[in-house]
Amino acid sequence: MISIRILDTPEEMKEVEDLQRLVWPDCETDVIPVHLLVTAAHNGGLVLGAYQDDKMVGMLFGFAGLYYTPDGPRPKHCSHQMGVHPNARNSGVGFALKRAQWQMIRQQGLDRITWTYDPLLSRNGHLNIGQLGAVCNTYMREVYGEMRDGLNVGLASDRFQVDWWINTRRVEGYLGERKHPALTMVDIEEAACQNLYPVGLRDGFIRPAGPLASPQGNLLVAEIPADFLKLKAADFELAKEWRVFSREVFETSFSAGYLVTDFIYDTSRDRPRSFYLLTYGEATL
């Protein structure tokens, strides 16, 4: 049984520090320290811990921020770091942390939470877009410069910045009592989406195998590796190829007016496959 707690003491933040070291190994300078976590928690930020049998298995950290509109700056919550202990993954801890964040930040009267993640990480795409209902039309190149931690070392730190419009019916629907039904490859086939590029197989891993089509129509699909970290460990050149190719895919689609609105992780066939679904004309969500 997982319980979520709002954290604010130095002792609790020490546990958060330790969990970060486990999730992002080999880079002490990337650990958010106790004093900053405490300060954020005392000044409009939010630090959450997920506990199983009194042991912290997940952390989520965010702070109050601003975004800029033609009418001036508006408040938002900037969610910066979520990590779940490797032994506790895929059992709903990440979802439970984000759901608690949704509840707490709504109580602050805010309507938008943003965060960044690597768009090639299928698990994160499935959670952020497919299960939480966040959307994205912002692609950021090398946003964190060169990263040295064990998860990110060696690849350009390109990221999606997602928008989570927390007071919309869309997001309420995703986080409601019943779990949002996941889309499958059958849905893609039936909806006659435009496939932006073909993929081929090399040593069991997919690679981009054709030119990027010019985006047309209302629905696009873009396939990504189902396990990018495994691919990266096995074939680093292919991982770099995916970074460069997917950068072109998303920058082209976003500048043509498309928005990432759903994610498909289909495990029903011979190998798991992952796809982003992009929609035209929903940028005001």
β-sheet bridge partners, residue 139: 160
How would DSSP label each residue in 103-158?
HHHHHTT--EEEEEE-TT-HHHHIIIIIIT--EEEEEETTTT-S--STTTTTS---
Which 3 state secondary structure label does DSSP give 159?
strand
β-sheet bridge partners, residue 194: 220
CB of 58 to ligand COA, least distance (A): 6
d(CA 71, CA 194): 36
| x-or-dash string of contact with ligand COA, 135-164, rule CB under 6 A | ------------------------------
> For 130, phi and psi rounded to 5 degrees?
-75, -30
Among 227, 235, 241, 282, the residue binding ligand COA under the rule CB under 6 A is: 227
CB of 42 to ligand COA, least distance (A): 22
Among 123, 180, 207, 240, the residue binding ligand COA under the rule CB under 6 A is: 123
Say whether residue 122 binds ligand COA (CB under 6 A): yes
Say whether residue 21 binds ligand COA (CB under 6 A): no
With both helix axes pointing from N to C terminus, report the angle between 10-23 and 34-42 in degrees, rounded to the nearest 10: 120
Among 40, 127, 206, 278, the residue binding ligand COA under the rule CB under 6 A is: 127
Of residues 91 through 120, those in contact with ligand COA by CB under 6 A are: 91-95, 117
CB of 96 to ligand COA, least distance (A): 7
Which 3 state secondary structure label does DSSP give 231?
helix
Residue count, binding to ligand COA (CB under 6 A): 22
Q: Which residues bind ligand COA (CB under 6 A)?
A: 23, 81-84, 89-95, 117, 122-124, 126-127, 226-227, 265, 274
